[in-house]
Homo-oligomer: A and B are copies of this chain.
């Protein structure tokens, strides 16, 4: 969006206040929450989240949990929510693992073709639920390259898609296999769950995200992937169809500017940045940052808290 002078239009930074919290909540029917850095950090619930969700539910708001983390399937996320004391149903969860499976389904990926996975159980589970056959993933975690004359990997010529997500067991064998499929199988798709540079495995440290594995595959294939997670708008099509709510009546709540807030802006949602995850206030305010949410606040709890004031 440009103004009359052609200067990029950047929204002014506005901290959420009692007044704007009320008007934001009144103006939307659904909240889209990122999970890591918003609901939890790694394996630890962020303070005040259950209370805030309860307040918003009691006001009749719908929820969608939209996560780029592909390590779990929707079923596995359900268990995580329940173990942390938050009641959700599977329909409310949109993970990038599910998005990758839906991308193949919507694009009529043939059932006789296979999917090679650099990633974890979540991707494999969603693919199999969607009726696709997977190779790689956790099964190739221990595979190595044999250093002997004439060694070669014979790859499956029926692999029609390579899906790359966060993989704590990424190794040279998987990278080699994926590269062979993408380079040598005609028409083989290259799908990235997301390209987050960093994420949290626990709440104590940032660590490489799926963007690390995706870049590795780009570096050797010299190809660019289709991205199905945030900030790509792919997931929003489902959300709009399923919830029958216009995106202008949705608010995207996230901790990352270049995925969550950009995703919200790309799809016409209202946007709220919480400072409980990756983005610090100084990174938000840095002159080099040109992704400005409608509002920012410390954490999800403060939304409900400001409504009381």
Question: Could you tell me the distance between the alpha carbons of A217 and B218 in the complex, rounded to whole angstroms?
Answer: 12
B-contacting 9-mer, from A103-111, A145-153, A266-274: A145-153
Question: Could you tell me the distance between the alpha carbons of A150 and B204 in the complex, rounded to whole angstroms?
Answer: 6
Q: Does A208 contact B (CB under 8 A)?
A: yes
Which residue of chain B has its CB nearest to the CB of A195? B219
Q: Does A158 contact B (CB under 8 A)?
A: no
Interface set, chain A 167-213, CB cutoff 8 A to B: 167-172, 175-176, 179-180, 195, 197-198, 201-205, 207-209, 211-213
Neighbour of A198 across the interface among B212, B215, B218, B220, CB < 8 A: B220
Interface set, chain A 98-151, CB cutoff 8 A to B: 144-145, 147-151
Contact between B172 and A208, CB atoms less than 8 A apart: yes
Question: Could you tell me the distance between the alpha carbons of A180 and B209 in the complex, rounded to whole angstroms?
Answer: 13
Contact between A201 and B168, CB atoms less than 8 A apart: no
Contact between B220 and A149, CB atoms less than 8 A apart: no
Contact between A207 and B219, CB atoms less than 8 A apart: no
Question: Could you tell me the distance between the alpha carbons of A86 and B218 in the complex, rounded to whole angstroms?
Answer: 37
Interfacial chain B residues near A198, Cβ < 8 Å: 179, 220
Q: Does A216 contact B (CB under 8 A)?
A: yes
Which residue of chain B has its CB nearest to the CB of A258? B222
Neighbour of A145 across the interface among B43, B180, B201, B217, CB < 8 A: B201
Which residue of chain B has its CB nearest to the CB of A215? B219
Question: Could you tell me the distance between the alpha carbons of A198 and B180 in the complex, rounded to whole angstroms?
Answer: 11
Q: How many copies does the complex hold?
A: 2
Q: Known: A172-B169, A197-B222, A215-B215. Contact between A149 and B43, CB under 8 A?
A: yes
Interfacial chain B residues near A217, Cβ < 8 Å: 212
Neighbour of A212 across the interface among B144, B175, B180, B207, CB < 8 A: B175
Contact between B220 and A218, CB atoms less than 8 A apart: no
Q: Please, what's the 1-or-0 string for A218-236, where 1 marks a CB less than 8 Å from any CB in chain B? A: 1111100000000000000
Contact between A168 and B145, CB atoms less than 8 A apart: yes
Contact between B220 and A197, CB atoms less than 8 A apart: yes
Contact between B195 and A208, CB atoms less than 8 A apart: no
Interfacial chain B residues near A195, Cβ < 8 Å: 219
Question: Could you tell me the distance between the alpha carbons of A203 and B144 in the complex, rounded to whole angstroms?
Answer: 18
List, sorted by A's number, 27 A–B pairs whose CB atoms are closer than 8 Å: A42-B149, A43-B149, A44-B149, A145-B168, A145-B201, A148-B202, A150-B202, A150-B203, A151-B202, A153-B205, A169-B172, A170-B171, A175-B208, A175-B212, A176-B208, A179-B198, A179-B212, A197-B220, A208-B219, A211-B220, A212-B216, A212-B219, A212-B220, A213-B219, A215-B216, A215-B218, A215-B220
Residues of A within 8 A of B (CB): 42-44, 144-145, 147-153, 167-172, 175-176, 179-180, 195, 197-198, 201-205, 207-209, 211-222
